[in-house]
């Protein structure tokens, strides 16, 4: 080897790559970092702390940046470096785990272990000391961390009261070792971190999360998910809740919904964007089943409940009575005859219903609206008499007769049999009357038990009921005001009434 070559190689060895350590953190730096971490979502803290954690690991004893250049050095060059290089080079090789090319006889220094606690991780500990300015937490094996006073100032009174000696708490590692050698912890961030993890579990399992509506903005509802704020867009509201929306401002549209219970599914979890999207629509079916099971367990037949009409079908109406829907069959909607629920109800209408059946196995609830309206037949039993006249409107024509609704009792219909339409033979009721026509009819049958009313058109002018007609006319005259009595003067005698009938 020539002297020139030897000189060149020595020059190379004597100028090793410098080891740059991160600058020590000052009190001002630590305060800024801690304050920022306490006021920002956990996702951002974890992201921001990742770079700092890498730098911290290098400072505590991780591999320095110059390891790569040292590993790339030729074997022969490393051998000469053992002899000529400063002792710092040997220390560096020992720290990185690289063995020297030749054994110099000195024992290699052990590599410094990785930090036991890492930034952004959550651990469980026990409170071992409290003061107005800090809370110390024992993580086990003599490892003590501190929750600084800045975080305590942000806690609620109830939360502060729970921080007592011996209490177990989850803590988030803000800094495993600050400039004073202390481990800085955060209880708030730990709770927030656990909420994010819980949200991820709900997103994966597709389970329903039950909560209360905490607020709103112009686009939808805000739902508290632990300490996180989940967002339910208007497009993800259930149909029944969407029908409640009215007004032009967010306050008018969503204000009445605050503090109402809601079941949602987690659709999107994005910590870095502090984004948690929820959907009530996706959870509607599961929520209905769960709430209905709970409702069925507490219902009793005969109970009166308030409810909201949520659906109208040909066979009846579905009414939400607070957690579950029951069916009001078309026959239980009104005392009178109806062909479709929309004749007496509308969507969103609030009504009272009576529970008439509960089937836990089939998960069905039977309801009745007409039973809470009052039975008109009770009044008919005391107000109407067989043989008296009444005004009615024809509602339906059949082959065997016509149905007519009493004008004074809209819920009651009677049958005009085809034989009672005329004294002459009638082929079909339409030959005598038509639907919607108003008639004076005679009541010839009242069956309160079976709720049947028989009417007659041909008997209206029959002398068979003349005595009754005269009696009823006298009663009506007594009830009429004086002005109407003059206009509707009665015949002076019964004979005059008979002549008028003829």
DSSP letters, 31-99, are HHHHHHHHHS-HHHHHHHHHHHHHHHHHHHT---TTHHHHHTS-HHHHHHHHHHS-HHHHHHHHHHTPP
What stretch of H or E contains 397? strand 389-398
Strand partners, 305: 353
Question: Residues 385-412: what's their mean pLDDT?
Answer: 89
SS3 447: strand
Q: How far apart are CA 356 and CA 334, in angstroms?
A: 15
Identify whether the C-beta of residue 270 lies closer than 8 Å to the C-beta of residue 256: no
- The answer to whether residue 498 scores a pLDDT higher than 80 is no
Phi and psi angles of residue 446, each rounded to the nearest 5 degrees, phi first? -130, 115
pLDDT at 341: 92
Confidence of residue 6 (pLDDT cuts 50, 70, 90): very low
Q: Per mean pLDDT, which range of 254-258, 260-264, 289-293, 391-395 is the poorest?
A: 289-293
Q: Say how far apart CA 326 and CA 365 lie, in whole Å.
A: 5
State residue 416's pLDDT score: 94
Cα separation of 82 and 13, whole Å? Answer: 10
Tokens of 462: 């029959």
- What pLDDT, in 10s, does the model give residues 340-370? 999 899 988 999 999 999 998 888 999 999 8
How would residue 27 be classed by pLDDT, with cut points 50, 70 and 90? very low
CA distance 292 to 486: 63
Inform me whether the pLDDT recorded for 134 exceeds 60.
yes
What is the rounded average pLDDT of the residues 51-78? Answer: 35
Question: Which is nearest to 79 in space by CA: 133, 178, 13?
Answer: 13
Tell me the average pLDDT across 296-307: 90
Cα separation, 405 vs 220, in Å, equals 49
- Average pLDDT rounded to a whole number, residues 156-167: 88
Which regions of 132-279 does DSSP assign to beta strands (E)?
134-140, 143-148, 168-175, 183-186, 209-217, 220-225, 228-233, 261-270, 275-279
- Say if CB 358 and CB 366 are below 8 A apart: yes
pLDDT above 90 coverage of the chain, percent: 36
d(C-alpha 260, C-alpha 212), whole Å: 6
Highest-pLDDT range among 44-58, 219-233, 284-298, 487-501? 219-233
- Please tell me the distance from the alpha carbon of residue 417 to that of residue 434, in angstroms, as a whole number: 14
DSSP assigned state of 301: T
Instruction: Please state the pTM of the whole predicted model.
Output: 0.45
């Amino acid at each position: 080897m020539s002297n020139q070559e030897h000189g060149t190689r020595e020059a190379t060895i004597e100028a090793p790559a410098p080891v740059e350590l991160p600058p020590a953190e000052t009190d001002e730096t630590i305060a800024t970092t801690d304050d920022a971490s306490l006021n920002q979502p956990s996702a951002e803290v974890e992201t921001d702390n990742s770079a700092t954690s890498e730098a911290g690991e290098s400072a505590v004893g991780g591999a320095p940046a110059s390891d790569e250049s040292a590993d790339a050095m030729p074997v022969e060059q490393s051998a000469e470096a053992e002899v000529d290089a400063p002792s710092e080079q040997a220390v560096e090789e020992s720290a990185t785990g690289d063995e020297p090319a030749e054994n110099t006889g000195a024992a290699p220094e052990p590599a410094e272990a990785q930090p036991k606690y890492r930034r952004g991780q959550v651990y469980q500990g026990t409170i071992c000391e409290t003061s107005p300015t800090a809370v110390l937490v024992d993580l086990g094996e003599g490892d003590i961390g501190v929750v600084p006073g800045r975080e305590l100032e942000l806690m609620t009174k109830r939360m502060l009261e729970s921080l007592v000696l011996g209490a177990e708490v989850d803590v988030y590692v803000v800094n495993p070792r600050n400039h004073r050698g202390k481990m800085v912890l955060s209880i708030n961030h730990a709770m927030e971190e656990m909420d994010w993890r819980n949200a991820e579990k709900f997103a994966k399992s597709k389970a329903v999360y039950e909560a209360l509506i905490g607020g709103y903005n112009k686009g939808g509802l805000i739902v508290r998910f632990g300490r996180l704020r989940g967002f339910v867009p208007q497009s993800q509201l259930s149909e029944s809740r969407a029908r409640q929306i009215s007004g032009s401002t967010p306050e008018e549209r969503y204000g009445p919904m605050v503090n109402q219970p809601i079941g949602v599914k987690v659709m999107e979890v994005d910590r870095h964007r502090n984004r948690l999207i929820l959907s009530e629509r996706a959870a509607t079916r599961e929520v209905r089943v769960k709430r209905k099971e709970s409702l069925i367990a507490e219902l009793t037949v005969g109970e009166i409940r308030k409810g909201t009409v949520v659906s109208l079908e040909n066979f009846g109406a579905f009414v939400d009575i607070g957690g579950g829907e029951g069916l009001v069959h078309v026959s239980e909607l009104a005392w009178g005859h109806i062909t479709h629920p929309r004749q007496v109800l509308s969507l969103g209408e609030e009504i009272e219903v009576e529970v008439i059946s509960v089937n836990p196995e089939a998960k069905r609830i039977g309801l009745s609206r007409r039973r809470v309206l009052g039975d008109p037949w009770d009044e008919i039993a005391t107000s109407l008499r067989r043989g008296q006249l009444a005004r009615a409107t024809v509602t339906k024509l059949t082959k065997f007769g016509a149905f007519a609704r009493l004008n004074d009792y809209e819920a009651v219909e009677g049958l005009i049999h085809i034989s009672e339409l005329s004294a002459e033979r009638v082929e079909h009721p339409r030959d005598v009357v038509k639907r919607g026509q108003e008639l004076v009819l005679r009541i010839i049958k009242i069956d309160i038990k079976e709720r049947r009313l028989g009417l007659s058109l041909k008997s209206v002018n029959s002398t068979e009921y003349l005595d009754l007609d005269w009696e009823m006319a006298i009663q009506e005259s007594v009830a009429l005001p004086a002005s109407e009595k003059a206009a509707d003067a009665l015949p002076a005698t019964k004979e005059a009434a008979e002549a008028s009938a003829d």
